[in-house]
């Protein structure tokens, strides 16, 4: 398949271009200002444990909440891995901080992760990366449980089966054998991590090799770089392709305001996903893409560091915000802080992450009380003009997951290593 030239930032001018962006970073507090990670983790522990107690069968996974009770979904839903993943993050923190209840957190995480085992064979959607890498992936990282490895590799194989060479991409939505329509969404960048990781741990495509698995991930990322970015660094949500030729049929939105608007969470998926691909491959074009998306996000960010559900929204008020997008961005910025080399850029992204986390761990976005099931409030699954609609002015389980992930990164970066006695 013939591909068009990618829209790239000249690498020789990248640092100067980023630092010179007008309004690229709203005024942030110094990164050295502390965030109460322990306090947030204690609140998270209380709320995550409460949900665990409320579900004796451990088969219904939280998705969203307007109040004190999570709405739940089954294992096959795209969000099912975020609650087990959150439990793994609590275990990681509890273990490192030597909480006496650390082992209990591991047991909870293992129990809820086990409920997803069947999803290794699920090839009906692209989100098995979210489902299985957040759960089994974190579990393997933290425990080295050998039983988790073949499950992860089998999941990667199932995900890669949605790849079509004629398009160079993984089909996000729709039946795997649909010959009339091929839909890809920017969210799919987040599922490439599973493929690259599995390729390095013995995973293969069906009938292929580990190299083939890695090639699927890089092919998808390269076409996403080509197709999803606008010249200003904003991103499209959905691209429809001809499944036989890979030609673009339409670029649109499903969860944003309009086809040419910028859905804020989609922008954060791009920042995060391309940052990972650079970390995994060392290919500078992926870093350039991540930085381009990051700086467009920052240039449009309001003063409180939490974006509206869509950057082109003219709706005012907290009920039209998306705190989950801010949590994803915070984690992505901390990853960028580690990846870039220029001291000014490292500071820039650490400051952005710190300011975002400061906003997300205080009122009005952080909920300490039991009247809310979640840590984060004022999130939006989709852009919607009605604040009473289920899609907006809500809490989302992935917002809590990425908040915990970001806080663990923040603590690792800002806490000096213990002195050896």
Q: Which CATH number characterizes residue 20's domain?
A: 1.50.10.10
304 is catalytic: no
Question: 136: alpha, beta or left, given left = phi > 0 and alpha = psi -120 to 50?
Answer: alpha
Tally the domains of the chain.
1
pLDDT at 11: 34
Residue 5 inside a domain? The answer is no
Evaluate whether 119 touches 130 at the Cβ level (below 8 Å): no
The one catalytic residue among 52, 127, 222, 322: 127
Q: In this structure, how many other beta carbons lie within 10 angstroms of the beta carbon of residue 416?
A: 5
Predicted confidence (pLDDT) per residue in 285-322, tens digit: 999 999 999 999 999 999 999 999 999 999 999 999 99
Residue 416 has a pLDDT of: 74
Dist CA 308 CA 257 (whole Å): 11
Q: Quick check: is 187 catalytic? A: yes
What was the pLDDT predicted at 33?
Answer: 54
Range of the domain at 313: 11-414
User: Is residue 265 predicted with pLDDT exceeding 80?
Assistant: yes
More confident position, 32 or 98: 98
Asked if residue 257 belongs to a domain, the reply is: yes
User: Does the residue 420 lie in any domain?
Assistant: no
Residue 163 falls inside a structural domain:
yes
The catalytic position among 187, 322, 351, 400 is 187
Q: What is the pLDDT of residues 109-142, one digit of tens each?
A: 999 999 999 999 999 999 999 999 999 999 999 9
303 domain-assigned: yes
Give ∠ CA 357-363-369 in degrees, rounded to 5: 110
Residue 183, in any domain of the structure:
yes
In a domain, 288, yes or no: yes
pLDDT in tens, 51-61: 999 999 999 99
Judge whether 369 lies within some domain.
Answer: yes
Tokens matching residue 85: 């993943």
């Amino acid at each position: 398949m013939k591909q068009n030239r990618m829209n790239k930032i000249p690498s020789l001018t990248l640092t100067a271009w980023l630092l010179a962006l007008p309004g690229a970073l709203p005024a942030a507090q110094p990164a050295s200002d502390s965030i109460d990670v322990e306090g947030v983790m204690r609140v998270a522990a209380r709320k995550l444990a409460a949900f665990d107690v409320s579900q004796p069968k451990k088969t219904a996974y939280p998705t969203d909440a307007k109040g004190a009770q999570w709405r739940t979904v089954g294992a096959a839903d795209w969000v099912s891995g975020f609650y087990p993943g959150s439990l793994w993050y609590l275990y990681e923190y509890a273990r490192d901080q030597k909480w006496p209840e650390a082992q209990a957190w591991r047991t909870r995480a293992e129990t809820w992760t086990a409920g997803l085992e069947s999803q290794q064979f699920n090839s009906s959607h692209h989100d098995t990366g979210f489902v299985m890498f957040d759960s089994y992936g974190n579990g393997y990282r933290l425990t080295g449980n050998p039983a988790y490895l073949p499950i992860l590799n089998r999941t990667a194989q199932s995900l890669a089966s949605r790849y079509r060479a004629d398009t160079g991409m993984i089909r996000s939505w729709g039946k795997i054998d649909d010959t009339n329509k091929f839909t890809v969404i920017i969210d799919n960048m987040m599922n490439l991590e599973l493929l690259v990781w599995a390729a390095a741990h013995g995973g293969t495509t069906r009938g292929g090799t580990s190299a083939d698995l890695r090639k699927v991930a890089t092919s998808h990322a390269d076409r996403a770089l080509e197709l999803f970015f606008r010249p200003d660094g904003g991103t499209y949500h959905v691209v429809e392709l001809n499944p036989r030729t890979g030609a673009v049929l339409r670029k649109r939105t499903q969860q944003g305001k309009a086809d040419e608007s910028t859905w804020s969470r989609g922008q954060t998926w791009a920042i995060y996903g391309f940052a990972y691909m650079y970390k995994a491959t060392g290919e500078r074009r992926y870093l350039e893409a991540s930085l381009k998306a990051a700086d467009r996000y920052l240039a449009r960010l309001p003063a409180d560091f939490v974006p509206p559900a869509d950057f082109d929204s003219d709706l005012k008020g907290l009920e039209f915000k998306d705190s989950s997008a801010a949590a994803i961005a915070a984690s992505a910025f901390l990853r960028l802080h580690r990846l870039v080399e220029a001291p000014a850029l490292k500071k820039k992204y650490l400051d952005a992450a710190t300011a975002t986390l400061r906003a997300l761990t205080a009122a009005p976005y952080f909920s300490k009380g039991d009247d809310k099931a979640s840590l984060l409030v004022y999130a939006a699954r989709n852009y919607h003009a009605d604040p009473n609609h289920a899609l907006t002015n809500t809490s989302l389980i992935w917002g809590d997951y990425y908040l915990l992930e970001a806080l663990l990164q923040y603590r690792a970066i800002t806490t000096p290593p213990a002195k050896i006695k």
